[in-house]
Amino acid sequence: MGKELQNIVEFESLFKEYFNPLVNFVNSRLNNWENSKEVVQMTFYKLWNNRNKIEVHTDIKSYLFQATRNSMIDFIRREKKFVEVEVLETVPDEEVRNEMDPYLIRNAIFKAMEVLKPKTKKIFELSKFEGLTYNEIANTMDISKRSVEDHMAKAMIQLRKELEKNDIIFSLNIVVMLFSIVYVLYLFLEKIL
């Protein structure tokens, strides 16, 4: 791709030719024009910044649609995190203080994780605590993405059952998200103290 995007004129030509079709493609999935434009702009921004490193092994149109698809997935992941935080922010502060002591959450999750098989536990930790994608976990552990999905499904079911036994009433995703935040803070404080 380095040769195809060596100068601004070529880049502008690509932008003008593919911007609207890519926005339509993203909007067909997101149903939000502003977000769709943002995703496509991010794709072109990454393309320009990495123009000397990227090599296209297909035609440019296929490459742009694939790159835009990847940008859309990143956008959805980012938005999902914000949505989880927004959902959490709707819980009254007093309710959180009364029922969600961070140390109790941490201990409950660690205790619940004891029932997981070692491989399932490792996959769960890589996903939820280290933020790896299923593909990254599959590559790291030399297993299929489908296997990672199966292990995560088992982990979530087992953890939900264990947490219900301990009267943890919030959804597992919120509990895990809170735990991840608490755990990172705990590690940070442990290093500075």
Q: In angstroms, how far is CA 115 from the centroid of its own chain? A: 25
Report CA torsion sign: 87, 91, 97, 101: negative
Residue 45: per-residue pLDDT: 85
Task: Indicate if the pLDDT at residue 179 is higher than 90.
Answer: no
Average pLDDT, the chain: 74
pLDDT, one tens digit per residue, over 182-191 is: 556 556 566 6
Confidence label for 62 from pLDDT (cuts 50, 70 and 90) = confident
Task: Indicate if the pLDDT at residue 13 is higher than 50.
Answer: yes
Confidence label for 20 from pLDDT (cuts 50, 70 and 90) = very high
| C-beta of residue 182 within 8 angstroms of C-beta of residue 129 | no
Q: In the chain, what is the greatest distance between 2 CA atoms, to the nearest angstrom?
A: 63
Task: Indicate if the pLDDT at residue 107 is higher than 50.
Answer: yes
Task: Indicate if the pLDDT at residue 88 is higher than 80.
Answer: no
| C-beta of residue 42 within 8 angstroms of C-beta of residue 17 | no
Domains and CATH numbers, the chain: 8-87 (1.10.1740), 93-192 (1.10.10.10)
Residue 168: per-residue pLDDT: 55
- What is the pLDDT averaged over residues 83-112? 54
Helix/strand number for the chain, H first, E second: 9, 0
pLDDT top residue among 71 and 105: 71
CA distance 113 to 127: 14
| C-beta of residue 60 within 8 angstroms of C-beta of residue 14 | yes
Residue 47: per-residue pLDDT: 83
**pLDDT over 90 for what percent of the chain?**
11
Task: Indicate if the pLDDT at residue 139 is higher than 60.
Answer: yes
DSSP for 99-145 reads: H--HHHHHHHHHHHHTTS-HHHHHHHHHHHTS---HHHHHHHHT--H
